[in-house]
């Protein structure tokens, strides 16, 4: 092993707002003392998982799922117990449903346009 995962970092125009969305969606708290206007972290201190960070990118061109000209670049899979109630809650937080789904997942965009999936077994 060369190293350990420290954080998954998501570029976005408003780090605090997108961090609040994912904090509610995933139930992960804001990290203590590890945030400012252009960098916000959810989770514990470095070395404690999970950690999700949000970095300001003012001129971000968000992915345009499923357009290959602006691919998703990365996405998060979020496991849920009840897809209908999870979808309702995610949409209330500001997510929007995107085209595409399969057996056990549906595709959404967060408020900044990044795709993520709600998954169930």
Averaged pLDDT, 13-28: 95
Q: Are residues 12 and 47 in the same domain?
A: yes
Q: CB-hemisphere CA count at 13 Å for 118?
A: 23
Q: pTM of the predicted model, to two decimals?
A: 0.82
Q: Are residues 14 and 43 in the same domain?
A: yes
Domain membership of residue 22 (yes or no) is yes
pLDDT of residue 34: 66
pLDDT of residue 49: 72
CATH code (residue 47): 3.10.180.10
Q: Are residues 17 and 46 in the same domain?
A: yes
Q: Name the H helices within 1-121.
A: 15-26, 83-93
Q: Are residues 80 and 113 in the same domain?
A: yes
Domain membership of residue 93 (yes or no) is yes
Domain membership of residue 1 (yes or no) is no
Q: Are residues 23 and 52 in the same domain?
A: yes
Q: What percent of the chain has pLDDT over 90?
A: 56
pLDDT exceeds cutoff 80 at 35? no
The whole-angstrom separation of Cα 40 and Cα 34 is 7
End-to-end CA distance of the chain: 31
Contact between 37 and 56 under an 8 Å Cβ cutoff? The reply is yes
pLDDT-based confidence at residue 92 (cuts at 50, 70, 90): very high
Say how many domains are in the chain. 2
39: domain range?
Answer: 8-56
Domain membership of residue 108 (yes or no) is yes
């Amino acid at each position: 092993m060369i190293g350990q995962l420290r954080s998954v970092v998501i570029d976005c125009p408003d780090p605090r707002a997108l961090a609040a969305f994912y904090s509610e969606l995933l139930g992960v708290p804001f990290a203590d003392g590890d945030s400012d206007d252009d960098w916000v972290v959810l989770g514990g201190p470095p070395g404690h998982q999970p950690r999700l960070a949000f970095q300001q990118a003012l001129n971000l061109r968000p992915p345009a799922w499923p357009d290959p000209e602006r691919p998703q670049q990365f996405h998060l899979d979020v496991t849920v117990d009840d897809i209908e109630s999870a979808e309702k809650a995610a949409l209330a937080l500001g997510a929007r449903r995107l085209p595409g789904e399969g057996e056990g997942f549906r595709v959404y965009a967060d408020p900044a346009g990044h795709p993520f999936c709600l998954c169930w077994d």
